[in-house]
Amino acid sequence: MSVCDCSTQDELVKTVKEYMLQVKGVEEVFVLTETDKKAIEQLEEEAKGNVLMGMGEGDNQGIAEVFKREHILCVTTNKEYVWPEPPNVIMTQGGEIIGFDCAESDVCNYENNPDYLVMGTFIMNKAKTAGNTGKPIVVLPPKPCDLGEIEVEEAVLGSPSTPSDDYIREVYKFEKSNEKGTFFLGFNKIKCID
């Protein structure tokens, strides 16, 4: 379906919501209200200095990109949802990447290498951390989001910080569980030329 077939913004949002509800592991999809957007922007701003128990600064580039879009949806997921290919978390220090998450299948590439510390699927480069100074910065990058045949511009998803995730779970009565997650999806309508 071409987005140009949607005569209104509301129809487009409804179409994207219906599509997302068919994706394996997606449980619910909500349109963020203006109140929610303001609360989440505030929480994300506050979270910048509170990553890793105060040991680093946050840089949630994914949420920043999502909030530049015309339409923003909150998507709740269960453990069956397949996240985009890593890295979904990158740690930098002194301008260098010192840590990142990877796919479970890639962990074996690092676990026997003395230069790396493996913590689940998060990999730290011990050699690079030793020489760097300053606080680490934890980057949550924006990730592309495939919306199938629906033609939209700049569809991107972002992972919320813990405070934003907690806010969404409370406001929308979404169960707090390590097996359940949230993300925000932002997109723009394609400008059609008649």
Q: Give the pLDDT confidence score for residue 1 in this predicted structure.
A: 44
Q: Give the pLDDT confidence score for residue 48 in this predicted structure.
A: 82
Under a CB-based contact definition with an 8 Å cutoff, are residues 89 and 44 in contact? Answer: no
Q: Give the pLDDT confidence score for residue 193 in this predicted structure.
A: 45
Can you tell me the distance from the alpha carbon of 34 to that of 23, in angstroms, rounded to the nearest whole number?
Answer: 26
* 137 closest CA partner among 86, 88, 85, 95: 95
pTM value? Answer: 0.85
Q: Give the pLDDT confidence score for residue 192 in this predicted structure.
A: 53
Q: Give the pLDDT confidence score for residue 2 in this predicted structure.
A: 47
Under a CB-based contact definition with an 8 Å cutoff, are residues 66 and 184 in contact? Answer: yes
Domain ranges of the chain: 3-50+60-81+142-189, 89-139
Nearest 10 degrees: Cα torsion 46, 139, 158, 80: -120
* 188 closest CA partner among 150, 159, 143, 149: 150
Can you tell me the distance from the alpha carbon of 189 to that of 187, in angstroms, rounded to the nearest whole number?
Answer: 7
Can you tell me the distance from the alpha carbon of 177 to that of 8, in angstroms, rounded to the nearest whole number?
Answer: 36
**Which residues of the chain register pLDDT less than 50?**
1-3, 53, 193-194
Q: Give the pLDDT confidence score for residue 194 in this predicted structure.
A: 45
Can you tell me the distance from the alpha carbon of 111 to that of 121, in angstroms, rounded to the nearest whole number?
Answer: 10
Three-state DSSP class for 114? coil
Three-state DSSP class for 38? helix
